[in-house]
Structure 1
Amino acid sequence: MGESHVRGMLRRLSLPGSIVLLGAALAMSGCAAPVDPATTRESLSDVTEDPAPPEAAELYDAELHPEPVVDPVDCDPYLVITARGTGEPSQGQLLSPVARTISQARPGDVGVLDLDYPADTDVKEGGTLGVRTLIDVLNVQADACPAQRFVLLGYSQGALVVGDGLAEPEARMVGATVGTVAEEALDRVLAVVFYGDPRFVGAEEYNVGSFDPETDGLLPRPEGALDAVEERVRDYCVAGDFICQSSLDFDEEPHVEYYSNGMQGDGAAFVITRLDDAGAEFREEDGERTPPSTPTPRPRS
């Protein structure tokens, strides 16, 4: 496959129209169709069965193909990026009410972007694209919008994608070749919230929930892999969730408890507290909103 053809494919897999501004975010329903936990578990378990790298590892290799796969979006003071779970729709997902609550807390200041990745059962292929896309979004936005800060939300496979994107390549399960988040962009990440994280590590201090601290997830990340952002992370896991609490107990209910157990609101409250701490950075001395640093971006053809 020629390099020019690969670059063309990268451009077509960018984020056309994925930005969801405040009005659309408020219109999203809080009622989501729960994922199928058994299918999710099976697809995540398949990640370790075949040691061969996926085709996406070369297709999205950052050294071979350094051009970003995304164009910048608007320079809202805050950009909330959601990464949905396996089989979830881009709207009406578990993370939609979390993002909506954050938007309502800062009217007019929050852009919401659903990460454009497959979120299907081919986790190695789709997850690699997800990690590359997340890294490029953060780096491109940090370059285009000097005042913008980021909030990252991930559920199930989406938590794997976000966590691997923030970790160093050697600590990743997917996306080892797709580059890294620039230090400047990483510094702008205000908050990271996970639900039902397959890379859950029970011993981490940022964990929240009824989990057993001696039990890890299906694909635990190396302990300390997220040390660079650990004070900004909340990783929610409930007892019996066989995605973030790997076990032989195949009760499917706990992995979808996050839709109704109040942890969506708790995660949003954590993020809003983090926004409060950073809010002054987005205001001029006269109290007016800092204008965007770049024009409205053009859509990519």
Structure 2
Amino acid sequence: MRIRSCLAALSLLGGAGLVTVTAPTASAAAPAAACSDIDVVAARGTFEPGTLGLIVGDPVLSALKRKLTGKSLSGHKVDYPADLSLTSAAQGNANLVNHVKNQASACPNQRFVLVGYSQGANVVDNSIGISSAGAVVGSPVVAAIPAALEPRVAAVLLFGNPIRALGKSVTGVYQSRTIDFCAQGDPICVNGGDDVLAHLGYTANADAAAAFAAGRI
């Protein structure tokens, strides 16, 4: 019930007139964008409005632009439904990996910062080879960033990560490049958590996340 209330709160936020977003349905990546120094690839949370995500993606990109004044940055919104359908996270997983592969081919010097909030954290987890199956709006891994491209992922920024409620976290080659915020009582990432508002408060961590990423670029 607490998890449903949390997702319902995000749904209401999306309908509050703050930003209008049309949920995409395709999982194929768009053609490669311009070759910025850093591409911020953001997977928004379930029903989250905003360009890259009102609560996390947009604030993180803004904070990174302030901290990396000598580099060019671009932002990519992972193209996926971000709803409660059984294939939503899998579609996001496929789109994120395809996007990184396309960009890496077109832009040999470009590096990536991966950002995931709530269901979007599942998308990022899967894309770096950590299954989110069994988590809230999770999915088995359907695609992973190729090992040859792994060094070009500068940082992984996760917020309200549902696999945390399963006792899991990012391990392996990405562990030292990952920061994973889970607010006390957040029912999405804390098993037994009961503070719905905690899941909506990660904008407060955007600056710390950007500082973490900037230190690895």
1:97-108 superposed matches below 5 A? 97-107=59-69
Runs of 4+ in 1 over 2 A off after TM superposition: 38-41, 104-108
Task: Read off the aligned partner of 1:250 and give its amino acid letter.
Answer: D
* C-alpha contact (below 8 Å) 2:7/2:46 kept by paired residues: no
The equivalent position to 1:191 in structure 2, one of 155, 160, 167, is 155
The equivalent position to 2:74 in structure 1, one of 103, 106, 111, is 111
SS of the aligned residue for 1:199 comes to: helix
| 1: CA distance, partners of 2:9 / 2:197 | 13
1:39-54 superposed matches below 5 A? 39=8
Q: CA deviation at 1:251?
A: 2.7
Partner residue, 1:243: 188
Task: Read off the aligned partner of 1:246 and give its amino acid letter.
Answer: N
| 1: CA distance, partners of 2:119 / 2:211 | 23
Task: Read off the aligned partner of 2:65 and give its amino acid letter.
Answer: S
Partner residue, 1:279: none
Q: Could you tell me the percent identity over the aligned residues? A: 30
| 2: CA distance, partners of 1:257 / 1:90 | 15
User: What TM-score comes out, normalization by structure 2 length?
Assistant: 0.79
Unaligned runs of 5+ in 1: 1-34, 42-55, 61-67, 201-216, 276-301
Q: Does 1:37 align with 2:1?
A: no
Task: Read off the aligned partner of 1:79 and give its amino acid letter.
Answer: D
Task: Read off the aligned partner of 1:109 and give its amino acid letter.
Answer: S
* C-alpha contact (below 8 Å) 1:79/1:113 kept by paired residues: yes
Q: CA deviation at 1:70?
A: 3.1
1:77-156 superposed matches below 5 A? 77-91=37-51, 93-95=54-56, 96-107=58-69, 109-122=72-85, 124-156=86-118
- Decide which structure has the larger Cα Rg and report it: 1
Partner residue, 1:281: none
Task: Read off the aligned partner of 2:38 and give its amino acid letter.
Answer: Y
Q: CA RMSD in A?
A: 2.5
| 2: CA distance, partners of 1:36 / 1:185 | 38
Q: Does 1:264 align with 2:206?
A: yes
| 1: CA distance, partners of 2:77 / 2:162 | 20
Q: CA deviation at 1:105?
A: 2.6
Partner residue, 1:160: 122
Q: CA deviation at 1:180?
A: 2.4
| 1: CA distance, partners of 2:8 / 2:167 | 19
String of CA shifts for 1:86-113, please: whole Å, max 9, x gaps: 1111425112111111123334610111
Matched residues, number: 192
Distance 1:252 1:235, change over 3 A: same
SS of the aligned residue for 1:274 comes to: coil
| 2: CA distance, partners of 1:36 / 1:119 | 16
| 1: CA distance, partners of 2:42 / 2:167 | 21
Distance 1:179 1:97, change over 3 A: closer
1:198-277 superposed matches below 5 A? 198-200=162-164, 217=165, 219-221=166-168, 226-247=171-192, 249-259=193-203, 262-275=204-217
Task: Read off the aligned partner of 2:161 and give its amino acid letter.
Answer: D
Task: Read off the aligned partner of 2:143 and give its amino acid letter.
Answer: G
Q: CA deviation at 1:175?
A: 4.7
Range with greater deviation from structure 2 (132-141 or 90-99): 90-99
* C-alpha contact (below 8 Å) 1:83/1:114 kept by paired residues: yes
Task: Read off the aligned partner of 2:150 and give its amino acid letter.
Answer: L
SS of the aligned residue for 1:118 comes to: coil
User: What TM-score comes out, normalization by structure 1 length?
Assistant: 0.58
Range with greater deviation from structure 2 (87-96 or 266-275): 87-96
Q: CA deviation at 1:143?
A: 1.4
* C-alpha contact (below 8 Å) 2:60/2:206 kept by paired residues: yes
| 2: CA distance, partners of 1:184 / 1:274 | 18
